[in-house]
Amino acid sequence: MPKKQNPSEDPSEISTLPTELVRLIFSHSAQNSRDQYDHDLAQRSPQLPTEVVLSHVCSDWRFIALNLHKIWSSFTIYHVPSNPAPLARVNQLQVYLERSIPAPLDLKFHFEGASIADARNLEADVLQLAAEHAGRWKHIVINMIGVKTPLQLAPFVVLFRDLRAPQLEHFELFWTFPRRTTSSFNPGPRTPIATLLPRILLQGCPKLTYLGLSLSSSGLFLPPITTCHNLTALDLNQPDTGDTYLTLTWPAFKVVMSLPLIALSLAEGVISTWLEENIADFSNTAMPYLKHLRWHGYDRRTRTSSRSSSWATTSFLGHLNAPMLKTLSIRSLQNTWCSEEFMPNLASVETLYLANCYRPDPDLIPSLAKGTPNVTKITIQDESRHGMQDYVFQCLLGDWGERGGVGSLDTVWKKLKEIDVLIVGNSSGPLNTPQYLEFMEQQRNGRRQQTQLRFRFSKKIHDELRACDWSWREVYSAEYADKAGNDLNSLRSSCDFGYITDQDYHDFSIGNDWYLGAC
């Protein structure tokens, strides 16, 4: 008697599934693979996208895939000078746009680091095609870093000017001038933006909830934000390339503060020109809905932080009137000067992120701690083993800076439950382990509420620490190296040690730190 075949082993069994179920499987597969495909594309090692694979298995699957508009509604272009076939990507975009009708569109165009001559025609063709389908835009990202001059951008302003995007919810446009390569390059005047007059999408984008603009594009590509009543997240920043920036005047920034924003991301350059002379008005102007703030502190024009720049940081945070603020992310402070008057009133803040803050004023963290007494979680990202985390733990151990003296251990961040330290650099040498051990000892002795302490390291640092690298003996004394190794073993047994995972880096670096729930 022949053995009965298991139906699950029959390759034709999937053909018996109802078409609607196959459609759901296709949609789920395409959606789940999208982020990985975009990542591979950015690394210039892409596989075929899922929707293309599904449409080339058999005639039945191809018929289903070609008529499943949703799986063709997402498209990404990463253009670099070495791209061998930019025209092919334009043709692919056209195919996707046609197959996706009438589904809402998720389009991401990245033109970073390419020469102007190399990218000009590709950008024009891509953006022209996209503009023809503006009525279906839902999620749009356009990144033109280092590829355009102001005159060359004029056609794109005209192209987007009279569009209507009734389904648009998320719009990002990051553009800046190329780095100066000759003394004759002149990007033009850097005039502060005095009014927020719309330049694009003049026919409306009523569903817009997230708007991200670099400082250098905000004057040219501003949609009608004052009539976007659903706008809850605004990112005004300056990318790390180029040397061009635009700032907002106080009247223009007052318009920003009047928006019903839940999340706001700012670079110091946005407000530095007017803050000092308008500090009283700023302090009296509330942002009643703001829950998530991300602040970039140092001057990205020069990669340095002057006294006036750091004054803007502490003055802004010290006078911010945001009674509902829950998440505060502070990034890129450098040699920050802290005035004696700095005392933020941010009692509602529960989550604090500190990233790449170098050599802060000794009084910065104690003053920040006093102004954010209800923080329950602190995350610190640094490239050094002796960066901002050392200042935070000094404060937790009772050192309140030069002006604050030594504080009581139970009066700073009393509700703190989690501390995550992410060290992403490759610097060598031991951790400042003794202060971490003292912190853990205080918890064991009941002198401090129990707080979960996690360390995440780049692979190089983690491997070195795991071995208690005895090469430290070549730099430090043998006694110090031995004690550092023993202390490190004690710390490892007391808290959570590990690698920085892709998810850790994504959560911290991409944006979950400032607009959670805002979009």
The parts of the chain modelled with pLDDT lower than 70 are 1-15, 39-46, 80-87, 112-121, 145-152, 176-191, 215-218, 238-246, 298-310, 335-337, 383-386, 399-411, 425-431, 446-449, 460-485, 502-519
Amino acid at the residue 429: G
- pLDDT tens digits, residue range 70-110? 999 999 888 765 554 556 778 889 999 999 999 999 999 88
Residue 109 CB burial class (10 angstroms; 0-12, 13-18, ≥19): buried
pLDDT in tens, 38-74: 766 666 666 788 888 888 888 888 998 899 999 999 9
- The pLDDT value given to residue 72: 93
CA 115 – CA 243 distance, rounded (Å): 16
| Closest by CA position to 105, among listed 37, 171, 175 | 171
For the record, the structure tokens of 508 come out as 């911290």
Residues 387, 422 contacting (CB under 8 angstroms): no
Closest alpha carbon to 136 in 176, 173, 163: 163
Determine the pLDDT at residue 263: 93
Query: Alpha helix locations (H) across 263-343?
Result: 279-283, 307-319
* 8 Å CB contact between 516 and 327: yes
**Helix ranges, 190-274 (H):** 250-258
Preceding omega of 104 cis (within 30 degrees of 0)? no
Would you say the C-alpha torsion 18, 20, 24, 26 has a positive or negative sign? positive
Angle subtended by helix axes 364-371 and 388-396, to nearest 10: 60
Positive or negative torsion for Cα 464, 469, 471, 476: positive
Hey, what are 388's tokens?
């901002």
Question: What CA dihedral angle connects 370, 375, 381 and 385, to 10 degrees?
Answer: 60
Residue 225 CA to residue 205 CA, distance in Å, equals 9
CB 372 within 8 A of CB 351: no
Please name the residues in contact with 140: beta carbons below 8 A apart, sequence gap of 6 or more: 105, 107, 108, 130, 168, 170, 171, 172
Q: Three-class SS of residue 238?
A: coil
Q: How far is CA 324 from CA 199, 281, 514, in A?
A: 32, 19, 14
Specify the amino acid at residue 363. Answer: D
DSSP-assigned beta bridge partners for residue 330: 295, 354
